[in-house]
C-alpha cells in the first residue's frame, strides 16, 4: 500500500536517510578506529558495523530516488533503526549503555520529521521492545538490571515528553494562524464598511466643488476630496495587505499594451511631480511593440507605488520610470521595470526592513507623514506573484533605484482582451472625458449614495432614473424605456445586481451596457462580477473621473445613430469612409467606432473583384436582400411567427456578414437566438432596433455606392 505523502514530507524523510548515513558512517569509523587501536575489535562487532553501513546506504539510495516513500518502508526503517541499536548493545557488552541514546534519537527523529503520532508510536514501541529484549538475551545486562532499567525508562519518558511539547507547540502555531486569519478578515470587513460612507463624503465633496459659491468653498471641497483620496488609498492598502496575509492575492493576466499601462502610471504621477517642481520622465523601450499577458491592474499599481514613493521622497531633481527590454524570444520579453529618483535615499539598515508591512525608514518618517508602510510589502508580493523579485539600491542623500525583471509572454496579434469587468484605473478628474445627454438607470439601495450620484450625473447633463431595489430596477427596465447605460449596485438589498443584469439581458435583444458599483473590493466579488458580461466595475467610493470615463467609453445606440446621421449630412461623400470608421469629432464625445460597414471587408471585396462592377453589384444585391429580410422579420414578429422570424434573421445575418455589416448582423443574431417567448414579449423593441440598424446600414451602403460611382466617373 502506498501513502500519498506530500513533497515536504518526502524531503524530510530524505534528510533523515542522509543523517542516518552520516551518523552510522561516523559511528562505525570511530568505533573501528578505537577498536583497532586498543585491540578489542571482535568479529561480531565488525559484522554489525559493516551491515549497519550497508543498511544505511541502501535506505539512503532508495529514498534519494523518490520524494515519496511507501508506508511499508517507513515503518520497516522505524523498526530496523531500533533493531540496529539492539545489535550494537548486544556486541559491545558493558559499553552498550553508550548506544541507548540512539533509541530516542531515532524515535524523536521520526516523530518530528513526519509529524505523525502513528510513526512516533511504532518507533517508540520498537525501541521499547528491543530495549526489553536486551536483558533477556545478554547475560551481562541481566545481571545489571538497575543500570539497564534506567535506560528503558529513558526510552519511555523522553519521546513521550518530546511528543507532548511538540503537541503544545503545534497548537500554539495553529492558534496564531487562526488569529492572524481572523485579523485579516476583520480588516477586510472594516475596510469594506469604511468605503461606503467614504463614498458619500466623496460625492458630497464633488458636488460642493461643482456648485461652490466661492473660490474658498471650492478650495475647501478640493481639500476634502484630496484627503478622501489619501484615506481611500490607505484603506485599499489595508485591504490588499489582508488579502496578502490570508494568501488570497491572485493575478488575472490578460492581453495589454505596455505603452497604455505606462500612460495610466504617467497620468497618476506626473501632476504630483510637477507640483513639487520635479522632472518626471517615463520611457519605454521602442522594441516592446507587442502586447503582453499581464495583470495590468497589479503591474500599474506596483509602478504607481514605486514612482509615487520616489516623488514623495524627492525634493529636488528628477524621477524616472523606465521599461527596458533585457532579452526577447519569439514568445516572450524579459523586461526590467525600474524607478530612479534623486531623493533622500535609504540607509543600508533600512533597505533590509522597508519591504516588511507597516515599516517606514527613519528618514522617510521625517520626510513624509502620510503612508502606511504597506506599499512596498504589497508591491513585493505582487511582483513575486508575477514571477519577479523587487530590489532596491540606494545611497542616502543621493537617491534610490527600485527595480524588478519580469518574463512576460507576448500576446497574439488579436485585439486586447481586457477583462470585461476590470476595475477602472484611477485618473485625475481633469483628464476624464465628459460625455453628456445619456439616459442612465441608476440602482443603489443606499439612498444617500443614490441621491449624490444622481446629482453628479445630472450635473454632467445626463437624464437619470433611479431605483433603490433590484425589483424596482427590473420594473423600470420592463416598461420598455431605452437606457444608454445601467449603473447597478452589486448589493441591492432584495437581490444582487448580477441577478438584475441577468434577468434584464435574458429578456432583451440589445441590452444596454452595464457597470457594477460595489464597495466590496475583494477578489471573490471581482471575479464574480467579471463573469456577468458587465462592461466594468466601479469600486466605491466612486470618483467622478472614473464614472465619466465609464460613461464616455460607452456610446449609446441613440447617440450613435444621431452622430452618424449628423455626420452623414455634414461629411462630403469622399470622406464618408471616415464616418464609417467612427472618427467622431464631437466636442464631448470620445472617438467611438460607429462601424455600420466594416471598411476592411469592403477593401477585401474590392481586391477580390473579378469585374469592375463587382463591388457595386454585390452591394446592390445585399441592399435588396437586407430590405427583403428586414421586411420578412418585421412581418413575422408582428404576426408572432417566431419560426419565420428566426429563419429570416438567419438569412439577414448571412448577407450582412458577407459585406461586413456587423451591427445589423448582430441584430439578426439576437433574433435568431431569441426563444418564442422572448420574440413575442420583445417584438416591439426588436422591430424598432431592426428598423434603426437596417436604415443606418442601408444608408452606409448607399454612401459607399455613391463613392464608387464617383471613383468610376473620375477615370
Ligand atoms: P509608505 O510609503 O506608505 O510609507 P512603503 O511601503 O511604500 O510605505 O514604503 C516604506 C518606506 O520605505 C517609506 O516610508 C520610506 O521610508 C521608504 N521608501 C520607499 N521608497 C522610497 C524612496 N524612493 N526614497 C526614500 N525612501 C523610500
Q: Is the CB of 400 under 6 A from ligand 1?
A: yes
Residue 564's H or E segment, with its range, is helix 557-570
- What the block records as the C-alpha cell of 651 is 438569412
Instruction: Ligand 1, residue 341: give the atom nearest the CA.
Output: 23
Candidate from 237, 240, 376 with most ligand 1 atoms within 8 A of CB, to mutate: 376
Distances (CA, A) of 30 to 7, 34, 35, 94, 608: 35, 6, 8, 18, 91
Contacts of 588 (CB under 8 A, 6+ apart): 433, 434, 435, 436, 552
CATH of 593-714, picked from 3.40.50.300, 3.40.605.10, 3.30.530.50, 1.20.120.160, is 1.20.120.160
φ and ψ at residue 623, rounded to 5 degrees? -60, -45
How far is ligand 1, taken at its centre, from the CA of residue 164, in Å? 45
Distances (CA, A) of 354 to 378, 388, 472, 577, 611: 11, 18, 51, 57, 72
Q: Is the CB of 238 under 6 A from ligand 1?
A: no
State the Cα–Cα distance between residues 598 and 603, nearest whole angstrom: 9
Q: In this structure, is the dihedral angle defined by the CA atoms of residues 558, 561, 564 and 568, taken in order, positive or negative? A: negative
Residue with cell string 507623514? 369
Which class in CATH covers the domain with range 254-409? alpha beta
Q: Is the CB of 311 under 6 A from ligand 1?
A: no
Candidate from 363, 364, 401 with most ligand 1 atoms within 8 A of CB, to mutate: 364
R_g (Cα) of the chain, nearest Å: 37
Provide the pLDDT for residue 220: 81
Q: In this structure, is the dihedral angle defined by the CA atoms of residues 126, 127, 133 and 138, taken in order, positive or negative? A: positive
Cis peptide before 541 (omega within 30 of 0): yes
Provide the pLDDT for residue 314: 94
Provide the pLDDT for residue 458: 82
Contacts of 126 (CB under 8 A, 6+ apart): 78, 79, 81, 82, 83
Q: Is the CB of 344 under 6 A from ligand 1?
A: yes
Candidate from 232, 302, 338, 360 with most ligand 1 atoms within 8 A of CB, to mutate: 360
Provide the pLDDT for residue 425: 39
Residue with CA at minimum distance from ligand 1 atom 9: 373
Cβ atoms 285, 324 nearer than 8 A: yes
Distances (CA, A) of 699 to 566, 578, 592: 12, 14, 19
Q: Is the CB of 584 under 6 A from ligand 1?
A: no
Provide the pLDDT for residue 5: 43
How far is ligand 1, taken at its centre, from the CA of residue 306, in Å? 8
Q: Is the CB of 371 under 6 A from ligand 1?
A: yes
Cβ atoms 669, 686 nearer than 8 A: no
3-state secondary structure 673-714: HCCHHHHHHCHHHHHHHHHHHHHHHHHHHHHHHHHHHHHHHH
- Dihedral in degrees, nearest 10, Cα atoms 386, 388, 390, 393: -150
Q: Is the CB of 457 under 6 A from ligand 1?
A: no
- What the block records as the C-alpha cell of 190 is 472594516
Instruction: Ligand 1, residue 314: give the atom nearest the CA.
Output: 24
> Domain coordinates of the chain in residue numbers?
9-143, 254-409, 439-562, 593-714
Strand, helix or coil for residue 280: strand
Q: In this structure, is the dihedral angle defined by the CA atoms of residues 96, 100, 105 and 107, taken in order, positive or negative? A: positive
State the Cα–Cα distance between residues 262 and 321, nearest whole angstrom: 9
Q: Is the CB of 364 under 6 A from ligand 1?
A: yes
Distances (CA, A) of 234 to 351, 359, 480: 22, 14, 43
Contacts of 218 (CB under 8 A, 6+ apart): 208, 209, 212
Q: Is the CB of 376 under 6 A from ligand 1?
A: yes
Q: What's the fold here for domain 439-562?
A: Rossmann fold (3.40.50)
- What the block records as the C-alpha cell of 200 is 458619500
State the Cα–Cα distance between residues 457 and 551, nearest whole angstrom: 10
How far is ligand 1, taken at its centre, from the CA of residue 370, in Å? 10
**Beta carbons within 10 angstroms of residue 283's beta carbon:** 11
Provide the pLDDT for residue 577: 32
Strand, helix or coil for residue 513: coil
Provide the pLDDT for residue 133: 94
Q: Is the CB of 357 under 6 A from ligand 1?
A: no
Q: Is the CB of 239 under 6 A from ligand 1?
A: no
How far is ligand 1, taken at its centre, from the CA of residue 281, in Å? 20
State the Cα–Cα distance between residues 596 and 48, nearest whole angstrom: 91
Strand, helix or coil for residue 406: strand
State the Cα–Cα distance between residues 98 and 131, nearest whole angstrom: 13
Mean pLDDT in order along the chain per 10 residues (715 residues) = 47 80 92 89 92 92 70 84 93 89 85 77 91 93 90 89 83 82 71 75 77 75 80 78 69 83 83 87 90 87 92 93 93 95 92 81 58 81 92 94 95 45 39 74 83 81 88 80 87 81 74 84 68 80 78 62 43 34 28 55 68 78 90 92 88 81 78 81 85 89 85 69
How far is ligand 1, taken at its centre, from the CA of residue 354, in Å? 7
Q: Is the CB of 486 under 6 A from ligand 1?
A: no
Q: Is the CB of 354 under 6 A from ligand 1?
A: yes
How far is ligand 1, taken at its centre, from the CA of residue 485, in Å? 41
Residue with CA at minimum distance from ligand 1 atom 19: 309
Amino acid at each position: 500500500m502506498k501513502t500519498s505523502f506530500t513533497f515536504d514530507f518526502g524531503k524530510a524523510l530524505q534528510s533523515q536517510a542522509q543523517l542516518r548515513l552520516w551518523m552510522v558512517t561516523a559511528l562505525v569509523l570511530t568505533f573501528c578506529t578505537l577498536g583497532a587501536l586498543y585491540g578489542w575489535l571482535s568479529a561480531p562487532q565488525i559484522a554489525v558495523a559493516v551491515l549497519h553501513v550497508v543498511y544505511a546506504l541502501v535506505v539512503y539510495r532508495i529514498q534519494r530516488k523518490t520524494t515519496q516513500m511507501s508506508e511499508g518502508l517507513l515503518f520497516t526503517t522505524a523498526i530496523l533503526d531500533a533493531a540496529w541499536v539492539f545489535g550494537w548493545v548486544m556486541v559491545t557488552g558493558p559499553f552498550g549503555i553508550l548506544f541507548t541514546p540512539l533509541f530516542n534519537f531515532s524515535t524523536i527523529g521520526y516523530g518530528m520529521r513526519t509529524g505523525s503520532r502513528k510513526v512516533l508510536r511504532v518507533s517508540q514501541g520498537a525501541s521499547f521492545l528491543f530495549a526489553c529484549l536486551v536483558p533477556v538475551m545478554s547475560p551481562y545486562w541481566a545481571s545489571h538490571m538497575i543500570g539497564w532499567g534506567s535506560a528503558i525508562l529513558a526510552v519511555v519518558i523522553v519521546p513521550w515528553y518530546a511528543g507532548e511539547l511538540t503537541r503544545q507547540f503545534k497548537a500554539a502555531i495553529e492558534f496564531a494562524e487562526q488569529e492572524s486569519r481572523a485579523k485579516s478578515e476583520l480588516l477586510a470587513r472594516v475596510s469594506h464598511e469604511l468605503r461606503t460612507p467614504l463614498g458619500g463624503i466623496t460625492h458630497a465633496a464633488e458636488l460642493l466643488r461643482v456648485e461652490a459659491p466661492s473660490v474658498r468653498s471650492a478650495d475647501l471641497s478640493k481639500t476634502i476630496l484630496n484627503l478622501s483620496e489619501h484615506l481611500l488609498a490607505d484603506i485599499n492598502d489595508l485591504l490588499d495587505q489582508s488579502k496578502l496575509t490570508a494568501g488570497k492575492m491572485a493575478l488575472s493576466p490578460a492581453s495589454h499594451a505596455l505603452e497604455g499601462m505606462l500612460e495610466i502610471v504617467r497620468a497618476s504621477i506626473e501632476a504630483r511631480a510637477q507640483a513639487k517642481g520635479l522632472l518626471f520622465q517615463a520611457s519605454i523601450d521602442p522594441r516592446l511593440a507587442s502586447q503582453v499577458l499581464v495583470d495590468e491592474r497589479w503591474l500599474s499599481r506596483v509602478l504607481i507605488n514605486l514612482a509615487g514613493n520616489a516623488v514623495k521622497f524627492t525634493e529636488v531633481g528628477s524621477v524616472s520610470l523606465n521599461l527596458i527590454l533585457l532579452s526577447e524570444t519569439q514568445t516572450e520579453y524579459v523586461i526590467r521595470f525600474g524607478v530612479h529618483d534623486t531623493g533622500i535615499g535609504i540607509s543600508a539598515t533600512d533597505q533590509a526592513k522597508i519591504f516588511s508591512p507597516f515599516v517606514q525608514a527613519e528618514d522617510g518618517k521625517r520626510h513624509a507623514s502620510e503612508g502606511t508602510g504597506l506599499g512596498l510589502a504589497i508591491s513585493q508580493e505582487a511582483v513575486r506573484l508575477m514571477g519577479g523579485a523587487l530590489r532596491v539600491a540606494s545611497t542616502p542623500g543621493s537617491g534610490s533605484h527600485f527595480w524588478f525583471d519580469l518574463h512576460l509572454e507576448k500576446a497574439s496579434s488579436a485585439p486586447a482582451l481586457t477583462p470585461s469587468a476590470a476595475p477602472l484605473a484611477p485618473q485625475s478628474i481633469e483628464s476624464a472625458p465628459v460625455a453628456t445627454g445619456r439616459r442612465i438607470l441608476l440602482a443603489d439601495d443606499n439612498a444617500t449614495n443614490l441621491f449624490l450620484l444622481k446629482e453628479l450625473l445630472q450635473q454632467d447633463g445626463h437624464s437619470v432614473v433611479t431605483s433603490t431595489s433590484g425589483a424596482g430596477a427590473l420594473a423600470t427596465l420592463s416598461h420598455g424605456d431605452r437606457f444608454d447605460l445601467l449603473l447597478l449596485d452589486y448589493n441591492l438589498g432584495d437581490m444582487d445586481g448580477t441577478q438584475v443584469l441577468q434577468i434584464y439581458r435574458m429578456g432583451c435583444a440589445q441590452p444596454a451596457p452595464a457597470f457594477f458599483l460595489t464597495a466590496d473590493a475583494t477578489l471573490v466579488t471581482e471575479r464574480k462580477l467579471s463573469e456577468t458580461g458587465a462592461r466594468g466595475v466601479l469600486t466605491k467610493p466612486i470618483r467622478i473621473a472614473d464614472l465619466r470615463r465609464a460613461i464616455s467609453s460607452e456610446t449609446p445606440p441613440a447617440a450613435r445613430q444621431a452622430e452618424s446621421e449628423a455626420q452623414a449630412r455634414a461629411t462630403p461623400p469622399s470622406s464618408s469612409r471616415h464616418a464609417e470608421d467612427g472618427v467622431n469629432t464631437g466636442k464631448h464625445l470620445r472617438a467611438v467606432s460607429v462601424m455600420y460597414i466594416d471598411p476592411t471587408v469592403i477593401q477585401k471585396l474590392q481586391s477580390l473583384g473579378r469585374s469592375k462592377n463587382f463591388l457595386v453589384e454585390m452591394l446592390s444585391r445585399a441592399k435588396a436582400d437586407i430590405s427583403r429580410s428586414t421586411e420578412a422579420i418585421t412581418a413575422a414578429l408582428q404576426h408572432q411567427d417566431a419560426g419565420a422570424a428566426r429563419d429570416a434573421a438567419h438569412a439577414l445575418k448571412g448577407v450582412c456578414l458577407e459585406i461586413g455589416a456587423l451591427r445589423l448582423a448582430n441584430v439578426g443574431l439576437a433574433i435568431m437566438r431569441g426563444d418564442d417567448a422572448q420574440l413575442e414579449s420583445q417584438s416591439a423593441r426588436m422591430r424598432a432596433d431592426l428598423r434603426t440598424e437596417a436604415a443606418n446600414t442601408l444608408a452606409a451602403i448607399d454612401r459607399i455606392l455613391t463613392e464608387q460611382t464617383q471613383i468610376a466617373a473620375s477615370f
